Chain A
Amino acid sequence: MTLEHRTLGGATLVSLPPRLVKADAPTVRDTLKDLIGQGQTNLVLDLGATDFADSSGLSVLISALNAAKAAGGDVVLLNPTQPIRSLLELTRLHHVFQIFEDADAAAAAF
C-alpha cells in the first residue's frame, strides 16, 4: 500500500486509506514519518475516503502530529467522514487536531 500525496500550497496533502486499523498502521506511520523526515513537515491528512478506524489507527495520526511538531511543522485533518468524525470526537481528538472541510482552507492553516 502506498499513499498518494501531493503539494498543496505550503503543505503536503496525503490521502489516507479507506481502512485505518492496527494492521494498516505501520505502513501509514512509516510513510508519514518519511515525508516529515524529507522536510515536508506541514501535512494535511485527507480522511475523505477513510470509513473505518480503530484506536491504533488514531495513534498513527497522533504520532505524525508529534513528529511534525518536533520538526517545526503541524498536521491538520481534512474532511473526515461522519463515522470517523464521531470517533475523533469521542476520543477528544478534535481538540488536538484542527479539522477542515476544505482543502484550500486546510493548506492556509500553516
Chain B
Amino acid sequence: MSETTLGPVLLAEDSMAERLRLRVILEKEGYQVREAEDGQAALELLREEDIPLVVSDWQMPRLSGLELCRRVRGELGRDNCHFLMLTGRGAREDLLEAFAAGTDDFLTKPVDRDELLARLRVGQRLHNLQADLSRQYQQVRQALDSERQARALVDADLEAASLLQQELLPARFMRRRGLDLAHLFRPAAGLGGDMLNHVALDEQTVGFFLLDVCGHGVAPALLSFAVAHALGEMFAEARANGEVAPEKLLQSLNRRFFDRSGNGRFFTIVLGLIDLGSGRTRICQAAHPPPLLLRDGGAVEEVSGGGLPVGVFEQADYQSTEITLQEGELLVIYSDGLTECENPAGEQFGMPRLSALLSAQRGHSPERLLQTLQDSLIEWQGGEQLEDDLSILVLARRPATDEPSLELALQSRSNEIADAVDHLRDWLAEQGLVAEMAFQFSVCLAEVLNNIEEHGYGEETPGPIALLCRVQEDAVTCEVHDQATEVETAPEGSLSPGDVEDGRGWFILRSWMDRVEYVPAVSGNRLRMVKFISADQAATGQPGHST
C-alpha cells in the first residue's frame, strides 16, 4: 500500500464556480481531476474509466448524487470506489438513505479545504488497502488452481499405479493340479501396501506369498511392488537350483530389504511352498497374522511360528512350519485388514469371529468363501469403503474324485452354438440341477457364445470356441475360451426394453450369474462364469452327480 498513489478524483458538481474551486484545491494537492457537470456525465466517465475516488454533489440535474452512487455500485459493480457525498442536508434519514445507496462518507457544504483533503486521504488509503487485498486474493486463487491441477496429475498417476498393481496380481481364480487358488484384493485408498501372488515352481510345487507393507499410499505400494518383483526372481532362482526353503527365502529377503534409512519401512509376510501331490506345505511367516487351516471336519487351526517383520533388523532368523493340507481342506492367508476391521462402535472383527465364519463355510469353494468373507466384513463395518487394505489368499485342496464336467469344442456358428447350448441343457438336467438354474445358466452361455460369434470373430469369419463346464457342490461354473479379437463388455445394467438389440445379452448375463470374469488376451480370451447353488437349490442327487 502506498500513500503516494493519488487519485484520480472524479468531481461531480453542477455549480461551475464550486467545481473550479474544488479542482484547484485538489490539483494543488497533486490529484488528477476528472470533471462532470451532473450525475449523468459522471456516470459516463465512470463507465469509461475505473476512477477510485468520487466527490459528488447531492443535488444535480439529470442524475442526482444519490442515484449516481446507486448506479456505480449496482450497474457498474464498482465496490472498490470511494464515494464522498457533498451535502447541505443534515437530516438523519437522508444520511441513512445515502449510506444504503452505497455512499462511503459525507462532507457538509460549504466544503472546508482541509477537511476535504483529510477525508480523501482516508478514502485513498481504504481504496489502496482493498486493491492490495484483491491482488493477494487473486494470487491465492492462482496458487490454489495450480495446486488443484498438480493434485489432478497426482491422482491420475495414482490411478495408473493402482491399475498396475492389479495387473501384478494373479488371476482371481486359478485351478492347478489338485489345488484351487483364489484371492481377494481390496486396497483401501486405491493404492495399497498389500501384495500377493502364487507361481508354479515346477510340476509338483507351487510357491505363494502374501505381504503387507506398513502404511498406505505410494511409498508402501512401491515397496510392495519391489518385494513382489524380488520374490519372483527368487522363486525363479530357487526353481533353477532345485530345493527351496521358505525360511532361506525370507532371510535373503530381509537382507535385501533391510531399512538402513531407519524410516520405519518394514513389512510382514507369509511365504510358503505346497507340494501338489502330497499337500505337504512349508510356511514361513514374518510377524504376519497367522494363516488359518480349515480342516475337513470344520475345525480351524492357526498356523503359528515365524519371526520378526522383514526390514527391521539386519540379522533376522526365520523358522518354517510344516503342515499337510488334506484333500477338502483350505488354507486361508490374510492381511490384518481382515481381523482388525472395526465396526462403527470401534470393535474389531477379530479372530474368534473369523474362525467361526470359516468353520461354517466348510465344504464351500474358495470363491464362495471369499464372497462370504467380504460380505460379512462389509456388513460388520457398515459401509463399502474399507479403512485398511484387505487381501486374502485361499488355497483349497480338491478331493481326488473330481466334479462332473462337460467339455465342448465348436465353431462360432449359430447352429453349432445352438447345439452346444442344447447339449449343456441336457447335461445340466442329468446332473440333477433344478430346472430354473439350468435354464438361467444355459441362457447365459448362449449369450456368451452369441457375443463371441457376433462381436469376437464376426459372423462372416467363424473361429474355434472351447468350453468347460463343471457342477461343483455349491456352484456351477463354465469357462469359455476363444481366439477372437477382444469382446467389449457392455456397461453394467444397461437395458432399454423396447430396443431390438443392444445390451440385453450382457444384462441377462450380469443379472443371472453370480460372477462373470472376462480376461482378454492375445493368447486367447477366457470368460469364466459362476452361479452359486444355494442350499434350497442343491442338486437332487440324480445319477451323474457326485455328492
Classify the secondary structure of A's interface with B.
helix
Over the window 45-64 of chain A, the binary record of Cβ atoms lying under 8 Å from chain B Cβ atoms (1 yes, 0 no) is 00000001111101100110
**Count of B interface residues, CB-CB < 8 Å:** 29
Option from B422, B447, B495 in Cβ contact (under 8 Å) with A19: B422
A86 adjacent to B436 (CB under 8 Å): yes
Over the window 466-503 of chain B, the binary record of Cβ atoms lying under 8 Å from chain A Cβ atoms (1 yes, 0 no) is 00000000000000000000000000000101111100
Binds B, one of A7-15, A21-29, A31-39, A72-80: A21-29
Say yes or no: is A92 at the interface (Cβ < 8 Å to chain B): yes
**A54 closest partner in B (C-beta):** B446
Option from A55, A66, A86 in Cβ contact (under 8 Å) with B447: A55
Option from A19, A62, A83 in Cβ contact (under 8 Å) with B435: A83
Binds A, one of B117-125, B410-418, B534-542: B410-418
Option from A19, A24, A55, A96 in Cβ contact (under 8 Å) with B508: A55
Option from A22, A66, A86, A91 in Cβ contact (under 8 Å) with B446: A22
B508 adjacent to A62 (CB under 8 Å): no
B498 adjacent to A52 (CB under 8 Å): no
In the bound complex, residues from chain B placing their C-beta under 8 Å from that of A23 are 414-415, 417-418
Most chain B beta-carbon neighbours within 10 Å: one of A52, A58, A95? A52
Expressed in whole angstroms, the Cα–Cα distance for A66 and B512 within the complex equals 27
Most chain B beta-carbon neighbours within 10 Å: one of A19, A21, A58, A86? A21
Most chain B beta-carbon neighbours within 10 Å: one of A53, A58, A63, A91? A91
Say yes or no: is A1 at the interface (Cβ < 8 Å to chain B): no
Given contacts A83-B435, A90-B512, whether A55 and B450 have CB atoms under 8 Å apart is yes
Most chain B beta-carbon neighbours within 10 Å: one of A24, A56, A91? A56
Closest 8 CB pairs of A and B: A23-B418, A23-B414, A92-B497, A54-B446, A55-B504, A83-B439, A55-B505, A23-B415
Q: List 20 contacting pairs A-B, 8 Å CB cutoff, sorted by A.
A: A21-B421, A21-B446, A22-B417, A22-B418, A23-B415, A52-B421, A52-B425, A52-B439, A55-B450, A55-B504, A58-B504, A59-B501, A62-B499, A62-B500, A63-B500, A83-B435, A87-B443, A91-B497, A91-B504, A95-B497
